[in-house]
Structure formats: structure tokens, C-alpha cells
Chain A
Amino acid sequence: MIIVDDVHKRYHTDHGVGKWVLKGVSFAIPPKVSVGLVGRNGAGKSTLLRLIGGVDTPSRGRIERHCRVSWPMGYGGGLHGTLTGRQNAKFVCRIHGCEDDLDERVAMVEDFAELGEAFDDPVKTYSSGMKSRLQFGLSLAFDFDVYISDEVTAAGDAAFRAKAAAAFQKVADHAGLIMVSHAEGTLRQFCTAGIWLHEGRAHWFDDLDEALKHYKESLTA
């Protein structure tokens, strides 16, 4: 269960306080529900994911996480450039308190990411596809109740995408999912409910199709 209660967010820039990105967003995500987050570019989708993931704090309002929530996955975030893939994996295991079975989890990440010897090279030498392989492997190494995905399934070559989608489906079967994707097919594949972000407010739909309909109407309007 994740409760988002009257959340406002604005950022401080070099030129003072920015405009409100989110103005009064409220919803509750029940356990094991997969939600697709739609809205036009700059509507605040990534901001909302960061807030739910606890990376940022809301300017006003509050967010309650009554379950284990992942970090926001995707876009090369959460990887340190000077560390190798293996060192990154170890770091993430350690901060999640998985010291005891660290070796198995790292082996699992290595196995899934299929980076070969590059797993022991610094992440800054990786291509974006390799980075997303590593991120994806990392995200599968832990059992979260809710996964936050910011287009994490989008990258990689065709073979990896198929493998990632299958693995993600398995995750989605037993856990909740909050995902942002501009690919409608991906959203339909994994999500049942939808949130439409529009002009700083969130609109909840139990049916993803409804959310997509409103989203598309807002684009043409």
C-alpha cells in the first residue's frame, strides 16, 4: 500500500524557486496493483516516481510506503561510473542489507546481465544498452513489493528485451508495479490501472485504457 496525500513539488533552481511541477497529487495504490503513469513530457512523471521512491521529498504533503519499495529504476541512475559492474552490484546488495547472501545475488546479476568480462570494467565504459542490462539485473536481485520503473524495459537489443520482458512479467505477477513508458504496448502488457498526470494533478483510473484515452485526448486538444 502506497499513500500519496496532497503532494506538491517544486524545485529550487539557480534563479530562485521554480514553478510547481505537482500541485496537490493524491491517490492510494493498493497492494499488488500495477499502475501505468501517463502524461505528456514534463508533466512530472519522473518527479512523481522519485518522490514515491523516496529519493526526493515533497515540498508539501506526504507519502507513506507501507511495503518494500524499490528505487526508481531506469535511465542510468543508481550506477556509479568509476566502479565496476560487480562493485556496483555489491554496493546495492550491501545497502539493502543483503550481506549474508551477497555472492549469490551478485552471481545472479552477473548471470542475467550477460555482460561477460565487461562486468569487471568501470561502468563509465559501458554503452547505454549495457548499463540498462546491469540495472535490470540489479532490479531482479531483490524481492520488492512494489517496483518503480522509469522506462527500464525500453533499452537493450531485441533478444535482451524479450528476456527482460519475460522476467518483468514474472515480477509483475507477484508484486506491484509503477511504471512510466511512452510505449503503449509495454504499459498494456504489464499494467491494469492507470494514472494520468495533467497540469500538476493526478487522475486515477482503475482501467488503464481510460487513462490512455484521456492522455491522448489531452495531446490532441
Chain B
Amino acid sequence: MAGYARSTTSVALSVWKALFLREAVSRVSAGRAAWVWMLLEPIVHVVFLMLLFTLVRLRVITGAETAIWLLVGLTSFFTARNIYTRGMEALNANQALFAYRQVLPVDTVLVRGALEAFLGVIVALLLLAGAGLFGFQVIPHDPLAVLAGLAGMCLCGLGLGLILSVASDLVPELGRIAQLLFTPLYFLSGVIFPLTVVPVQYREWLFYNPFSHGLELLRGGFFPLYPVAPEANFAYLFGFAVAVVFLGLAMHVRYADRLRAK
């Protein structure tokens, strides 16, 4: 066995791999047919909202097919949301494994983020493929913009997860408050309505939220004729992502000792 002679990089890599497999097993095999629910959650959401849209509000999304517009937005927002909610709980769920000095608290959050992004992409691809079989147009017109939008949202989610994992460990009340804010965030990000319907003077405020940028840009990349809100830009999305990831990592370095001690 390699023991202490291993480089820090190779230790980190083997820890990430071990944690990734451990998290994947728990995530996919927790309870009965856990993977069915992963697919069902966005499907049920889309179907429910389609009913609302068509029966109640008779809304048509300009320049996009409503079902696909919803599907793309929901799956990508859920992916980002899973990254920060599950990242926030990562320390608690892996407390027992901190008995090994190789495993750092930050590893668990990073690995959970990677796993959720991985699962989110798979779910999105499966659902899009399914929708394609029903005759919907599911090929994005600018795939790179879609990927960039998704990556930006995932990184913002990771940054939030890193920050919240430390904050909720040190001050549990902060975790509760964060959870209260998650639902408004879902509505304010424009997951289920196009942000262009909001009057300009209020829209400015909505675009302090990085997920608004991410969703608009992602949908703009998907549908060639979709009118993207002019406030949305990649610079803000990735600037925000870099800032929160940096802050989150810095907090993990600063409080590393306190996160392990239990």
C-alpha cells in the first residue's frame, strides 16, 4: 500500500472516487426504486404545469414550445437546486467518514455537486429523448450556449452549497433560514414563467439572481426565436459563480477544524 508517500493530489483523487461511488450508491439505491423518482419528479412537474398553462391560463411561450421550454428549465433548475440543497447536507451525511484523515469536509460537498450535475444531465437527456419520441423538437439550436448556461447554474449551485454547508454546520439556524428561501428562489428564477413578462423596473431586481441569467441564456440557446431578456448575460452568471465558489472554498479552509470536530 502506498501510505503516506502518496502525493496530496493522488490522495484527493482516490478520496473523490471513493466518495463519488459511495454517494452514487446511496442516491440511486436509497429506498425502493429511487431512480424512478428522480425521473418522475420533473415529469410530474411538467405535466402539472402544462395542465395549468393550457387549461387555466392559456399561455403560450413566445418563440418556444411550452412543454420543452418547461422541461429544459425545470430539469436544469432542479439540477442546480439539488447541488446546493444536497451539498448543504453533505457534511452531516458523511460525518462518520471524517474518522479518516484523508477525507476532508470540502470533498464531500464537491463530490455531491459533481454527482448531482451528472445525474441531472442524465435525467434531462432521458426526458428530452422521450419527448423527442413524441415528436417534439428537442435538438438545441446552440448547444454550447445551453451547456454554458447549465454549467454556470451548476457552479452557482456548488458555490451556494459550499457556503451553506459551512454556515449551517456552524450556525444550524442559518440552514433553516436558507431552506425557507429556496421556494421563493424557484419562483423568482423564472422557472415557470418567462422573465420578459415582468415589467422592466422590477426585472432589474430579478436579475440579481444568477439563476435568472442561467435559465434565460439556456433557453435562448435552445430555442432560436425565444426572446431572451436583455439583462441576461454570461458575465454576471460566471462572475457570480466564481465569487461564491471562491467564498465557499475559503470558508471551508478557514473553518476546516471546526467542521471535523464533533
Binding site for B on A (CB under 8 A): 11-12, 53-57, 65, 67-69, 71-72, 77-83, 87, 90-92, 94-99, 142-145
Contact = CB atoms under 8 A, between A and B. Distances in A.
A95 B14 contact: yes
Contacts of A96: 1-3, 14, 102
A5 B26 CA distance: 41
B96 A97 contact: no
Interface residues of B, number: 31
Given A72-B99, A91-B19, A96-B14, 20 more contacts: A55-B100, A55-B260, A56-B257, A65-B4, A71-B100, A71-B101, A77-B96, A77-B99, A78-B96, A78-B97, A79-B96, A80-B94, A81-B96, A82-B30, A83-B22, A92-B100, A96-B1, A97-B2, A143-B3, A144-B3
Contact of B18 (A12, A55, A68, A91): A91
B201 interface: no
A194 to B, nearest CB: 25
Nearest to B15: A95
A55 B101 contact: yes
B8 to A, nearest CB: 12
Nearest to A98: B1
Contacts of A53: 101
A68 B6 CA distance: 10
Given A80-B94, A95-B100, A56 B14 contact: no
Interface string B67-105: 000000000000000000000000000101111111100
B195 to A, nearest CB: 40
Most buried by A among B18, B94, B100, B258: B100
6 contacts: A11-B261, A55-B260, A78-B97, A96-B14, A97-B11, A97-B14
Contacts of A54: 101
Interface string B171-200: 000000000000000000000000000000
A30 to B, nearest CB: 17
A80 B96 contact: yes
Nearest to A101: B1
Contacts of A144: 3
A57 B257 contact: yes
B17 A97 contact: no
B14 A99 contact: yes
Nearest to A94: B18
A12 B258 contact: yes
A95 B103 contact: yes
Contacts of A65: 4
Given A56-B260, A80-B22, A83-B22, A71 B99 contact: yes
B99 to A, nearest CB: 4
8 A-B pairs with least C-beta separation: A54-B101, A94-B18, A68-B3, A78-B99, A77-B99, A97-B2, A95-B102, A80-B96
A97 to B, nearest CB: 5
A146 to B, nearest CB: 11
B25 interface: yes
Most buried by B among A56, A78, A96, A142: A96
Nearest to B6: A97
B10 interface: yes
Contacts of B96: 77-81
B243 interface: no
Contacts of A78: 96-97, 99-100
Contacts of A71: 99-101
Contacts of B97: 78, 80, 91
Most buried by A among B26, B99, B257: B99
Nearest to B2: A97
Contacts of B6: 97
Given A56-B257, A56-B261, A77-B96, A94 B101 contact: no
A97 B1 contact: yes
A68 B15 CA distance: 17
Nearest to B11: A97
Contacts of A95: 11, 14-15, 18, 100, 102-103
A54 B3 CA distance: 14
B44 interface: no
A145 B4 CA distance: 10
B21 interface: yes
Contact of B21 (A94, A97, A142): A94
A84 to B, nearest CB: 9
A101 to B, nearest CB: 9
